[in-house]
Amino acid sequence: MHNDALDGLTDYPFDRLRALLNGVDAPADIDPVIMSLGEPQHASPPILAETVAAHAGDWGRYPPVAGTPDLLAAIDEWLTRRYSLSGGTIQQDHNIVAVSGTREALYMAGDICIPKDKGGAQPVVLIPNPFYQVYVGAAVMSRAEPVYLSATPETGFLPDLGALDIETLKRTALAYICSPANPQGTIASLDYLKTALELARKYDFVLAVDECYAEIYDAAPPPGALEAAGQLGGALDHLLVFHSLSKRSSAPGLRSGFVAGDADLIAKLKTLRNYGGATMPVPLLAASAALWRDEAHVRTNRDLYRQKFDIADKLLSGQFGYYRPEGGFYLWLDVGDGEAAAKKLWGQAGVKVIPGAYLARLDRDGFNPGIPYIRVALVQEPGTIGDALSRIRDTLA
């Protein structure tokens, strides 16, 4: 006996990658480089460990579910500054909840936003294609229909919300957008975000904007959905945004992020977390506040990614459809057949990447937009990245 919705959770990309590479050995004489995982490898900022140490007396306290007032204030200050919000747009007790990494919260968005039916029909969850896998977990476990919106060069690597039919929009309960997008690095413009929010309000669905890569950008800071809401008058209804310290502060092991937006949905998320959420320990809440208040380490982190994109420019320009992404830290390379390339790169060059097909699904037209691609995460130090990208270039040439 089990919850049969779980049977819909198949095809986790890293399980498929393991199966693909089963029996393929990396060459014994070179160091393997794992570029399949988006796990930042830069040193985490010293204030993290220092703040945790300074709060050593707090391990005996149960943490408040939504986060400490100090952390919520730090997040409020950061959001207001980062997105030029008018004072009062965010009320820290009503519009923010701290979460143990955004993965959990993106999943829980399904639990709080998807009704049993919408207008008598099965609810729909709109998912950019390719996508971060948790979005599908949320849709499947809430027994909604995932509708994959292929984000290709033709759509500017963002879902074309304008192409959706009215019947689908009426059934939509939740729509995920990721900006900067994982894996393509595209940044949604303010106009795109405003249009998406207006659509959500018109058809009464929740817009969930995953801004977990918001601080890893090349030229200009990506606009955010709260900024879009600010420009539409400042109301936050129908909107949830997700931010994380994992990429911003190179601290994926801290498990710290937050959700901000619609007060009613934030209250529901707090209720759900009261019953079944993992709270963040008080020393980690304190460290999170220190990190949101510090920008110096974020600038250093961003510069390190820029250095790596400079290296990629030199090594890969003109090949594999290479472009320098606007944000995030992935390369999305068109190699013709992503699965064949991933196998060859592991077997011949000791470089592990993930086939794009595993990060996407068949859309309603029976098209998987990831098939020709590989995703390459530039998470190691620049020296390792230069070596690995040369191996990729030489092996696939």
Interface with ligand PLP (CB under 6 A):
38, 101-103, 106, 132, 178, 182, 210, 212, 244, 246, 252, 257
The smaller minimum CB distance to ligand PLP, of residues 203 and 213, is found at 213
Torsion of CA 216, 218, 223, 226, to 10 degrees: 10
Per-position b or e across 315-347, b if 16+ CB within 10 A of its CB: bbeeebebbebbbbbbbbbbbeebbebbbbbbe
- Lookup: tokens for 173: 């309960």
**Minimum CB separation from ligand PLP for residue 2, in Å?**
25
**Minimum CB separation from ligand PLP for residue 219, in Å?**
20
The smaller minimum CB distance to ligand PLP, of residues 118 and 375, is found at 375
**Preceding amide of 128 cis, omega within 30:** no
**Minimum CB separation from ligand PLP for residue 234, in Å?**
26
Separation in Å, CA 165 to CA 143, 160, 161, 202: 21, 11, 9, 14
Assess contact for 261 and 278: CB atoms under 8 A.
Answer: no
- 18: helix, coil or strand? helix
**Minimum CB separation from ligand PLP for residue 361, in Å?**
16
The smaller minimum CB distance to ligand PLP, of residues 103 and 273, is found at 103
**Minimum CB separation from ligand PLP for residue 265, in Å?**
18
The smaller minimum CB distance to ligand PLP, of residues 103 and 194, is found at 103
The smaller minimum CB distance to ligand PLP, of residues 55 and 248, is found at 248
**Minimum CB separation from ligand PLP for residue 377, in Å?**
9
User: Which residues share a beta bridge with 377?
Assistant: 330
| Diameter of the chain measured on Cα atoms | 61
**Minimum CB separation from ligand PLP for residue 246, in Å?**
3
Q: How far apart are CA 168 and CA 155, in angstroms?
A: 19
**Minimum CB separation from ligand PLP for residue 170, in Å?**
27
The smaller minimum CB distance to ligand PLP, of residues 142 and 249, is found at 249
194 C-beta neighbours (distance < 10 Å), count? 18
**Minimum CB separation from ligand PLP for residue 310, in Å?**
23
User: Which residues share a beta bridge with 85?
Assistant: none
The smaller minimum CB distance to ligand PLP, of residues 183 and 283, is found at 183
Q: How far apart are CA 102 and CA 240, in angstroms?
A: 12
The smaller minimum CB distance to ligand PLP, of residues 216 and 335, is found at 216
Within the chain, strands assigned E span: 33-34, 96-99, 124-129, 145-150, 172-178, 206-210, 239-244, 257-261, 330-334, 351-352, 354-355, 373-377
Per-position b or e across 18-45, b if 16+ CB within 10 A of its CB: eebbeeeebeeeeeebbbbebebebebb
Give Cα 16 distance to the centre of its chain: 20
Assess contact for 196 and 239: CB atoms under 8 A.
Answer: no
The smaller minimum CB distance to ligand PLP, of residues 203 and 330, is found at 330
**Minimum CB separation from ligand PLP for residue 188, in Å?**
13
The smaller minimum CB distance to ligand PLP, of residues 182 and 368, is found at 182
Going by their DSSP bridges, the two strands 206-210 and 172-178 should be labelled as: parallel
